[in-house]
């Protein structure tokens, strides 16, 4: 859900999106997209999600689980 909150639609960022904070239409330049992705990663990091994914990736568990963790990371 977090990526959709940052403007992500159907697996990609569109050229423009509505920014709920500034309440304006924003052009999604490379810098703007990186800023939005950083916000998502920070939120995931604060909740411990990235640590859990990394642990799953490094653990000797099911190869299918490791592959999925790799894709998510």
Residue among 73, 69, 3 nearest 39 (CA):
3
User: 3-state class of 17 per DSSP?
Assistant: strand
Question: Average of pLDDT values for 46-61?
Answer: 75
Instruction: Give the DSSP letter string of 30-56.
Output: HHHHHHHHHHHHHHHHHTTHHHHHHHH
Give pLDDT, residue 1: 44
Residue 31 predicted with pLDDT over 60: yes
Domain spans in the chain, listed from the N-terminal domain onward: 2-72
Global pTM value: 0.55
Per-residue model confidence (pLDDT) at position 73: 60
**Distances, alpha carbon 50 to alpha carbons 6, 39, 58, in Å:** 18, 13, 12
pLDDT tens profile 2-23: 666 666 777 777 788 878 888 8
């Amino acid at each position: 859900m977090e990526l959709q909150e940052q403007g992500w639609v159907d697996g990609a960022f569109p050229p423009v999106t509505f920014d709920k904070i500034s309440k304006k239409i924003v052009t999604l330049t490379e810098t703007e997209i990186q800023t939005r992705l950083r916000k998502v990663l920070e939120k995931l990091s604060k909740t411990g999600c990235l640590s859990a994914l990394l642990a799953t990736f490094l653990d000797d568990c099911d190869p299918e689980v490791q592959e999925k963790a790799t894709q998510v990371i």
